[in-house]
A and B are shown apart, each in its own frame.
Chain A
Amino acid sequence: MTIGQAAGLKLGKAVRDAFGTALKELGNEFPTVVTVDGDVGNSTRTEVFAKAFPERGFNVGIAESNMVGVAAGLAAAGKIPVVSSFAAFLTCNAYDQIRMCVAYPHLNVKMVGSHAGISIGEDGASQMAIEDIALMSALPGVAVVVPADAPSTKHLVKGMLEHKGPVYMRCGRIDVPEIYGPDSVLTIGKANQLRDGKNLTIIANGLMVGIALDAAVALEAKGITARVLDLHTVSPIDQEAIVKAVKETGRLVVAEEHLPHGGVGSAVASVTAQLAPCPIEFVNIGNTYAESGDPEGLLKKYGLTAEAIVAAAEKVCSR
């Protein structure tokens, strides 16, 4: 992968790997944490935790609906269940269970969807969650968190376990560049400014943060300076950071590995429409399903590149 190269970033681990490792490392500090899997723990990496704490790891089989219900019962009885599957199957297959058993009673269930977005690559569109942010942020009281790299994942996993109430964390499959240092501190609900600029702000999360940083470098060569905000928490959204960005830079580009509707772009636009109207351009996969292919080729074909962000930035600056 060439993500982060222009910005001088080094390739690090995948978010899913960092999630599994962090969960295991926090196992003793959070003795009530248990994992509930739908037989893909080796892919979502909860297996790392379950191997270290075998009496606290449950695999209920390929049965996502039951998996979420079991997690709700465990939470009602005082545990902190971390329930995980591929993001597509967790959020789409078990959506009613998430709504009824977790969100409606506001139970302390941590829902982790791995293999999110088109960057999973060759397995194809059936495995790619591209609507999960829309689904999960539609539910009242559910925090939606999208880490950008391994070091921030480590910190956000702890934040997720400390957070009281339901959380959805979206994890990608592929290795991504390291954006944060090992001691970075991130707070759920607070966007993180990675770079300052005066002409526009690029808001991104997940995989798109590294690509946004590359775009900012390319824009600088063209005389356009861009602030880059890592909006790792989509819900509750950091209105303050968004309004500040509009006031100080005047324009926004929102980049996400998601459908155009209901995701980060919609969430940001709903804040600006109400509190700080401004020109905005959106970079996303478009209103379509993707296909099988290598991750880099898919990102290029579906418009998730630094070049696409640069074009959007130039367009928004001309408005």
Chain B
Amino acid sequence: MAIFKPLSLDEMKAKTKVLRRHIVRMTTEAGSGHPSSSMSAVEMVTALFFGGFMQHDPAQPRWNNRDRFILSKGHAVPVLYAALAECGYFPVEELMTLRKLGSRLEGHPNMKRLDCIEASTGSLGQGLSVGVGHALACHMDGLSAHTYVMLGDGEMGEGQVWEALASAEKYKLANLTAIVDQNGYQQTGATKDVLKLTEFQPKIEAFGWHVQTINGNDIEQVIAALTIARSIKDRPTAIVSQTQKGFGILPILAPTGDLNYHGKPLSKELAEKALALLAD
């Protein structure tokens, strides 16, 4: 079992740029995908995989006591592939096969193709339920493993999420942390204009969870919140991670007049500009 040595704060900040560069390159090469939905979650994913919060081992992806990360907002999978490649689960060059015929890196996570993927997702609203199942099983087996599930704010419109919140509270799953990547947009526009589900902290607290709301693009706040989440021992925890869709390349997206930029890759020209912006 390999425990990754946590990176320093500066090293993590550098890693966020590496992940963002991977996201730009792979989605532009694929000619499709969701770079802006991936960008908002980069700080959280970086802290989890490289900040010492997740115990995992690329040599034994299905090791029993590994900490789990489930990406319920499966369309943001480029951020997960970028992190997994940087951890050594597969070669970094493979990122460029994203969405191509025969590639293991499908457009949405597929646990049958890559054994470092914990759940096949892409149908929104389902990941937290699967996380409840993982957390229940780990609890039954006396494992210390922690399960993290990342959801999108638009995804909170699915009723199943609230079913899952209620069931996790019933079984007092302190080994489960839900992360709502609240980037404020969903497919057709601003999340607040689609359903008024935006005030997540009181809603999730009402389900008996411990909830924190942070600026999720500030990696120091992310680290502090994950540390607190891990210290809560009597109930499940949630982090409402308020982020910006496309964070890191907003100066590139702004002139396009589309800050949502949902489900489309950057053109080669915009990608070049983005990579220059994200250079070390």
Contacts and interface: CB of A to CB of B under 8 A. Distances in A.
A97 B171 contact: no
Interface in A29-54: 34
A60 B160 contact: no
Interface residues of A, number: 31
Q: Is the interface of B mostly helix, strand, loop or mixed?
A: helix
Contacts of A55: 140
Q: Is the interface of A mostly helix, strand, loop or mixed?
A: helix
A76 B163 contact: no
Nearest to A75: B133
A58 B136 contact: yes
B186 interface: no
B164 to A, nearest CB: 5
A79 B120 CA distance: 18
Interface in A198-240: none
Contacts of B170: 60-61
Contact of A105 (B112, B123, B136, B160): B112
Contacts of B160: 63, 65-66, 69, 97
B64 interface: yes
Interface stretch (B87-95, B124-132, B221-229, B255-263): B124-132
A77 B137 contact: yes
B198 to A, nearest CB: 23
Interface string B242-269: 0000000000000000000000000000
B111 A70 contact: no
B110 interface: yes
Nearest to B135: A73
Contacts of A61: 163, 166-167, 170
Query: Which of A34, A75, A105 neighbours the largest number of chain B CB atoms within 10 Å of its CB?
Result: A105
Contacts of B136: 58, 70, 73-74
B146 interface: no
B116 interface: no
A77 B134 contact: yes
B133 A76 contact: yes
B77 interface: no
A147 B160 CA distance: 31
A201 B135 CA distance: 50
Interface string A71-97: 111111111010000000000000011
Nearest to A64: B163
B111 A69 contact: no
A63 B120 CA distance: 20
A195 to B, nearest CB: 42
Contacts of A71: 133
A76 B167 contact: no
B238 interface: no
B12 interface: no
A93 to B, nearest CB: 10
Interface of A: 34, 55-56, 58, 60-61, 63, 65-79, 81, 96-97, 99-101, 104-106
Interface of B: 64, 110-112, 118-123, 125-138, 140-141, 159-160, 163-164, 166-167, 170-171
7 contacts: A63-B163, A65-B160, A69-B130, A69-B164, A76-B111, A97-B129, A101-B129
